Amino acid sequence: MGSGLVEQVSKRLRKYLARKSCAIISDSNVAPLFADRITQSLVSAGFEPTLITIPAGEKSKTLQQAGAICDRMIAAGLDRQSFVVGLGGGMIGDISGFVAAIYHRGIPHIQIPTTLLAMVDSSIGGKTGVDTRSGKNLIGVFHQPSLVIDDLDVLKTLPRGQFNQGFAEIIKHAIIADEKMFRILQSWKAGTASALQRLIQRNIQIKSRIVAKDERDRTGQRAVLNFGHTVGHAIERAGNYRKFLHGEAVSLGIVAACAISVKRAGLPEDQRTAIVNILERFGLPTRLPPKFPRKKIFDAIRFDKKFEGGKVRFVVTPRIGTARITNDVTLNDIREAVKQL
């Protein structure tokens, strides 16, 4: 992690991988910005990179696109001794990781995340995959990256909204695991690169610590990372994945999860208010547009979750810095919380 790392990718790679040929998988926005410099760095160090660029946007994260990438890798002569570099945001991280996991039954995956969200969230934890028509991330594999290179300089070209949505996951991490970071965020001023670097580092630690306890998402410990995501995913879906960015939908989902936490987990009212204020401070939405069809959100939740006896597993926060899973939340609690949004 640092700055100016894009130019030094080959140096870092040589340290970790004794392999030569690789695919650099990127999207149509990111490749024109950074792929040249990375390719040059690799070629001059004796690597043999093949650049594969796919259209930017979530609609590229499909099984079909993953298959097309594999075909191009085969045509380029890449084999079991090759590796994959994912250069882009979470979309590229997920599909390039999936390709690395299945190509010749698994080759190393290097991530160069280029969005704040990808740095603090999607590049950590080894979840890779693609979407289907029925929903997001339904097909995938756990495949941990061999190396993640965070170059803070790449964030300079990121549009403001994309930058802010990364803070939804950062604020989520603070709520579920780090009360001190929550206070840092309360007095956060956009400013020095070193402060941002420390913040990203802290988020990587939080996420990796939680993932390490339950790498394959089996015991429920990893599931606390889904705080705000039950309602958040439903809002994303209800807006046809166009109306809200993921982080914006999660921001609204966090507001709903806090209302439910007040009711079911004893979250103090003043802490709920502090959370809403901090989301607003980072330019994230905390209210739905008045005309937004709330019914579509309930439909999406019912589609997404199994309500056993009218209840669902839900992540609540009893106080800032802590989170737990409960089975006490009803569909009605969720409906009320969404109505208040």
Ligand X SMILES: NC(=O)c1ccc[n+]([C@@H]2O[C@H](COP(=O)([O-])OP(=O)(O)OC[C@H]3O[C@@H](n4cnc5c(N)ncnc54)[C@H](O)[C@@H]3O)[C@@H](O)[C@H]2O)c1
Residues at the site binding ligand X, with contacts judged by CB under 6 A? 27, 29-30, 33, 56-58, 61, 88-92, 94, 114-115, 117-118, 121-122, 125, 127, 136-137, 154, 157-158, 162, 246
Q: What is the residue type of 17?
A: L
- When the beta carbons of 235 and 259 are compared against ligand X, the nearer one is 235
Among 299, 338, 330, which residue's Cα sits nearest to residue 314? Answer: 330
Among 297, 227, 289, 222, which residue's Cα sits nearest to residue 255? Answer: 227
The first and second tokens of residue 104, run together, are: 């010749």
- When the beta carbons of 62 and 162 are compared against ligand X, the nearer one is 162
We find the least distance from the C-beta atom of residue 156 to ligand X, in angstroms, to be 8
We find the least distance from the C-beta atom of residue 264 to ligand X, in angstroms, to be 26
Would you call 150 helix, strand, or coil by DSSP? coil
Among 216, 326, 165, which residue's Cα sits nearest to residue 260? Answer: 326
- When the beta carbons of 6 and 265 are compared against ligand X, the nearer one is 6
- When the beta carbons of 73 and 152 are compared against ligand X, the nearer one is 152
We find the least distance from the C-beta atom of residue 144 to ligand X, in angstroms, to be 11
We find the least distance from the C-beta atom of residue 321 to ligand X, in angstroms, to be 22
- When the beta carbons of 58 and 280 are compared against ligand X, the nearer one is 58
We find the least distance from the C-beta atom of residue 281 to ligand X, in angstroms, to be 20
We find the least distance from the C-beta atom of residue 103 to ligand X, in angstroms, to be 18
Alpha carbon distance 269, 247 (integer Å):
24
We find the least distance from the C-beta atom of residue 126 to ligand X, in angstroms, to be 8
Gyration radius from the chain CA atoms = 20
Strand partners, 139: 130
We find the least distance from the C-beta atom of residue 328 to ligand X, in angstroms, to be 27
The first and second tokens of residue 105, run together, are: 């039954």
Residue 47 contacts residue 21 (beta carbons within 8 Å): yes
The first and second tokens of residue 148, run together, are: 């993640």
Residues in contact with 64: Cβ distance below 8 Å, sequence separation at least 6, in sequence order = none
Residue 50 contacts residue 59 (beta carbons within 8 Å): no
- When the beta carbons of 56 and 331 are compared against ligand X, the nearer one is 56
- When the beta carbons of 29 and 41 are compared against ligand X, the nearer one is 29
b/e map 305-321, b = 16+ CB within 10 Å: beeeeebbbbbbbbebb
Distances (CA, A) of 137 to 34, 46, 62, 128, 229: 27, 36, 9, 8, 13
> Could you tell me the sign of the dihedral formed by the alpha carbons of 56, 58, 64, 65, in that order?
positive
The closest residue (CB) to ligand X is 90
- When the beta carbons of 54 and 256 are compared against ligand X, the nearer one is 54
